[in-house]
C-alpha cells in the first residue's frame, strides 16, 4: 500500500464484508517474556487472518476467495505461500503481480520472502520476461551494488531463463564503475564458470588473467582481483605456480613497495607449492624487511617476516605459516565467493 492508502485505510472491523467474521487474537500467555509492540493495523489484520485460515481448514468457506486474496496484500510477509495458492486458483494476471512485487521492493528489497515469490512468478512466466528480470536486478544494484538477494535472483534467471549474451560485458561495466565491487567480481567468476558457451575456466583463463592483472596493477590493495586470480587456477595449482604472468605480477607489485600484502601472500603460496623465486624476486622481498631484521636463507621465512611487519592484524597467522610451511592456496580459492 502507498502512503495515501495507509492514511485512508478503513479498519477491517468496520468493513461490512467482514461483519460475520470473528477475529482470533494472538495468545502469548498470561506473562509473555518479551511482548512485541505490533502496530494496531498489523494486530487486527493478523487476528482476522487467523480466523480465515481456521475457517479454510475447517472447509467452512470457499478456500480461494477474492476476499482472502485482498487480505493478503496487507500481510505481505506472513502469507506469501497462501498468496501463491490464491493467484493460481484465480488465474490472476502475473504481470500485475510483478508490478506489485516491484512496488514492495522499492520499500523493502531485503525481504527474502519477496525474492522467493518473485522467482515463483518468473518461473511461471518463463523466458518471455528474462530481460525484465535482468533489468529489475539492475535497478536494485543502482541503489545497492552488493545486494545479496538481487545477485542470487540474477544468477537464477541466467541459469533458468537465459540472458547470458551480455553478462560478461555487464560485469566489466560494473568493475569499470567500481573496481572494488567484490559482488561484480563474484558474478564475473560465476559467468566464466557457468556460461554455456564460454567453455569454462580453461577456455577463458588467458584473457581473464590479463584482465585481472590489469585490475590488480591499478589497485594492488584491492583483495577481490587477487582472489579472482587464484580462482582462475582452481584445482590446478601447478599452472598457477608455473605461469610467468603471475610471477611477473608479484615482482612488479613488490618492486613498487606499495600495498604488497596480497602479492606477498600469493608469493608465499607459490613457494609453498614448490616455486623457486629468482634473484630479482628475492631482492624485492628482502628490500621490504625492516632494517632491524636480516633476511633468512629460507625465502619462505623471509616472506613471512615481511608479512608479520606489514600485516599486524594477521601477525599470528603469518607466524604460524612461518613455523608450519604448510600450503594454503586452496583455502583462498574456497573463499573466493564473497558478497
Residue 149, pLDDT > 60, answer yes
pLDDT in tens, 20-43: 888 888 877 888 788 888 888 888
Please indicate, yes or no, whether residues 36 and 109 belong to a single structural domain of this protein. no
Kindly state whether residues 137 and 114 are assigned to the same domain.
yes
pLDDT of residue 329: 44
SS3 readout for the chain: CCHHHHHHCCCHHHCHHHCCCCCCCCCCCCCCCCCCCCCHHHHHHHHHHHHHHHHHHCCCCCCCCHHHHHHHCCCCCCCHHHHHHHHHHCCCCHHHHHHHHHHHHCCCCCCHHHHHHHHHHHHHHHHHHHHHHHHHHHHHHHHCCCCHHHHHHHHHHHHHHCCCCCHHHHHHHHHHHCCCCHHHHHHHHHHHHHCCCCCHHHHHHHHHHHHHHHHHHHCCCCHHHHHHHHHCCCCCHHHHHHCHHHHHHHHHHHHHCCCCHHHHHHHHHHHHCCCCCCHHHHHHHHCCCCCCCCCCCCHHHHHHHHHHHHCHHHHHHHHHHHHHCCCCHHHHHHCCCCC
Judge if 137 and 168 occupy the same domain.
no
| Residue 245 domain-assigned (yes or no) | no
322 catalytically annotated: no
Q: Are residues 79 and 1 in the same domain?
A: yes
What is the average per-residue pLDDT within 96-119? 91
**Residue at 244 is within a domain:** no
More confident position, 141 or 59: 141
pLDDT band at residue 70 under the 50/70/90 scheme: low
Is residue 260 included in any domain, yes or no? yes
| Span 265-282, average pLDDT | 95
Q: At residue 339, does pLDDT exceed 50?
A: no
38 occurs within a structural domain: yes
Q: Which pLDDT score is estimated for 235?
A: 87
- Domain end (from 161, 183, 214): 161
Q: Is pLDDT at 160 greater than 80 in this prediction?
A: yes
Residue that finishes a domain, picked among 116, 131, 161: 161
- State whether 47 and 17 are in the same domain: yes
State whether 324 and 263 are in the same domain.
Answer: yes
Mean pLDDT score, 45-55: 77
Q: What is the pTM of this model?
A: 0.77
Same structural domain for residues 83 and 1? yes
- Evaluate if residue 58 carries a pLDDT over 70: no
Residue 76 has pLDDT above 90, yes or no: no
Write out the residue range of the structural domain in which residue 37 sits: 1-90
* Per-residue pLDDT tens digits for 277-307: 999 999 999 999 999 899 999 999 999 999 9
Residue 171 has pLDDT above 80, yes or no: yes
Mean pLDDT of 88-110: 91
> Same domain, yes or no, for 308 and 284?
yes
Residue 86 confidence (pLDDT) above 70? yes
Same domain (yes/no): 177, 190: yes
Q: Is residue 177, in this structure, part of any structural domain at all?
A: yes
Confidence category of residue 60, pLDDT binned at 50, 70, 90: very low
Q: Is residue 246 in some structural domain? A: no
Same domain, 58 and 124: no
What pLDDT, on a 0 to 100 scale, did the predictor assign at position 338? Answer: 39
pLDDT at 128: 96
Domain-ending residue, one of 90, 116, 132: 90
Q: Residue 205 domain-assigned?
A: yes
Q: Of 110, 124, 138, 214, which is the active-site residue?
A: 110
Q: Is 198 among the domain residues?
A: yes
* Chain segment 212-252, per-residue pLDDT in tens: 999 999 999 999 999 999 999 998 999 999 999 999 999 99
Both 1 and 36 in a single domain? yes
What's the domain count of the chain?
A: 4
Amino acid at each position: 500500500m502507498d502512503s495515501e492508502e495507509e492514511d485512508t485505510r478503513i479498519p477491517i472491523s468496520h468493513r461490512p464484508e467482514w461483519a460475520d467474521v470473528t477475529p482470533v487474537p494472538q495468545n502469548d500467555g498470561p506473562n509473555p517474556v518479551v511482548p512485541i509492540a505490533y502496530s494496531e493495523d498489523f494486530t487486527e489484520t493478523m487476528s482476522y487472518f487467523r480466523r480465515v485460515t481456521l475457517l479454510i481448514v475447517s472447509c467452512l468457506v470457499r478456500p480461494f476467495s477474492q476476499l482472502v486474496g485482498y487480505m493478503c496484500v496487507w500481510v505481505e510477509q506472513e502469507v506469501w505461500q497462501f498468496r501463491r495458492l490464491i493467484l493460481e486458483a484465480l488465474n490472476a494476471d502475473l504481470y500485475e503481480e510483478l508490478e506489485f512485487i516491484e512496488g514492495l521492493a522499492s520499500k523493502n528489497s531485503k525481504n527474502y520472502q519477496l525474492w522467493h515469490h518473485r522467482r515463483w512468478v518468473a518461473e511461471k512466466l518463463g523466458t518471455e520476461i528474462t530481460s525484465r528480470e535482468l533489468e529489475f536486478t539492475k535497478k536494485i544494484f543502482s541503489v545497492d551494488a552488493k545486494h545479496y538477494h538481487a545477485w542470487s535472483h540474477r544468477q537464477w534467471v541466467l541459469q533458468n531463463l537465459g540472458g547470458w549474451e551480455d553478462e560478461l560485458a555487464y560485469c566489466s561495466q560494473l568493475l569499470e564503475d567500481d573496481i572494488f565491487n567484490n559482488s561484480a567480481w563474484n558474478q564475473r567468476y560465476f559467468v566464466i564458470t557457468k556460461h554455456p558457451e564460454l567453455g569454462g575456466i580453461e577456455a577463458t583463463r588467458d584473457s581473464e588473467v590479463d584482465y585481472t592483472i590489469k585490475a590488480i596493477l591499478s589497485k594492488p590493495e584491492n583483495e577481490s582481483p587477487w582472489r579472482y586470480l587464484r580462482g582462475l587456477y582452481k584445482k590446478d595449482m601447478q599452472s598457477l605456480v608455473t605461469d610467468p604472468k603471475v610471477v611477473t605480477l608479484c615482482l612488479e607489485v613488490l618492486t613498487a613497495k606499495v600495498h604488497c600484502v596480497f602479492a606477498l601472500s600469493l608469493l608465499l603460496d607459490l613457494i609453498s607449492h614448490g616455486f623457486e623465486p629468482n634473484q630479482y624476486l628475492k631482492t624485492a622481498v628482502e628490500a621490504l624487511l625492516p632494517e632491524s631484521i636480516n633476511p633468512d636463507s629460507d625465502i619462505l621465512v623471509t616472506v613471512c617476516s615481511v608479512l608479520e611487519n606489514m600485516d599486524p592484524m594477521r601477525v599470528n597467522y603469518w607466524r604460524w605459516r612461518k613455523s608450519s610451511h604448510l600450503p594454503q592456496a586452496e583455502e583462498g580459492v574456497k573463499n573466493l565467493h564473497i558478497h
